[in-house]
Structure 1
């Protein structure tokens, strides 16, 4: 059975919600999908004062975990047009995996959230994808046969480079049904590609 890791960092819970939808999509394609998060680096008192969602069920990942999976789908919110530092710090610890080529040939993909429609979704996706490419991973985007990313009747996330959501500056906007559908589609597509590559 194809093994998919959904690896995320979430401040207010949006990426957690998207991670659950990504994993559900991978499972719909017949894969085993595990959800793990990267460690929080903000001191707990500051995180609580700023209303971070600290009660997340997913276990905390270590870089060594990555080697066990056929595909890794990475989600992190934007920070000034790039992935949040918590996720960047995690990937900065994967040098030993890079050195031995442990992730070469695995399927990789990305998802993100921004405060606004034009808050850096695509550049953040690329900041994640760059790390995956350096590890020799095979990248999947969110193709346009997911028609939801072409909707004009509502404000919505979605890009050909990955699944996205819009959170609002204070994190008050919930992930929409269309954005969850995009995340589900991405998870399903990645699991299907990983299964084909394993044949």
Structure 2
């Protein structure tokens, strides 16, 4: 059974919702799943004024814990077309793991949310995946075996680079059922590949 970490940062719950759908897919595929979040780095006054909310059911993960997993699926909201500062700060602290090659050969994947359809989902996923590639991880994307991402009948996320959703400018739009299905598909795919590589 592959050990899978779903590591995310979420300001308003959209990336959190995708993380839980990914976990469902990974568990259905036989994965031993942990959902964890990175530390909040914004000042408390900003967190309160902006209405950020964190899911305290998910523990805060520290970089040295990453080596314990066979796969790491990383999620971050988009900030000006790239990953959030909270997630970037976390990966900036993984130099020791990189020096030791601790993540080489592990499976990695990405997920994100943006305010609008063209808010930088793919560039954010590239910025997530570049960290994983530098660590020598094997990247898994959201392939077109998940045909839902080809739909033009609704405003949806999803790309070959990973699962995603659209939050709306005020954060009020919730993930579409197609977005959640894509996240679940991605989780299952990662779990199956990680199990094969760990065998």
Give the Cα–Cα distance (whole angstroms) in 2 for the partners of residues 161 and 190 of structure 1.
Answer: 13
- What corresponds to 2:184 in structure 1? 184
Give the Cα–Cα distance (whole angstroms) in 2 for the partners of residues 170 and 44 of structure 1.
Answer: 20
- What corresponds to 2:125 in structure 1? 125
SS of alignment partner, residue 20 of structure 1:
helix
Aligned-pair CA distance for 1:55: 4.5
Structure 2 residues not aligned, in runs of 5+: none
- What corresponds to 1:18 in structure 2? 18
SS of alignment partner, residue 113 of structure 2:
strand
Structure 1 residues not aligned, in runs of 5+: none
- What corresponds to 2:77 in structure 1? 77
- What corresponds to 2:140 in structure 1? 140
- What corresponds to 2:197 in structure 1? 197
- What corresponds to 2:113 in structure 1? 113
- What corresponds to 2:60 in structure 1? 60
Aligned-pair CA distance for 1:56: 3.4
2:8 is the alignment partner of 1:34:
no
SS of alignment partner, residue 18 of structure 2:
helix
Q: Deviations over 1:103-154 (max 9, x none)?
A: 0000000000000000000000000000000000000000001011000111
SS of alignment partner, residue 156 of structure 1:
coil
Q: CA RMSD in A?
A: 0.7
Give the Cα–Cα distance (whole angstroms) in 1 for the partners of residues 55 and 8 of structure 2.
Answer: 14
Give the Cα–Cα distance (whole angstroms) in 2 for the partners of residues 22 and 54 of structure 1.
Answer: 18
- What corresponds to 2:173 in structure 1? 173
Q: Deviations over 1:27-79 (max 9, x none)?
A: 01001000000000111222111111134321000001100000000000001
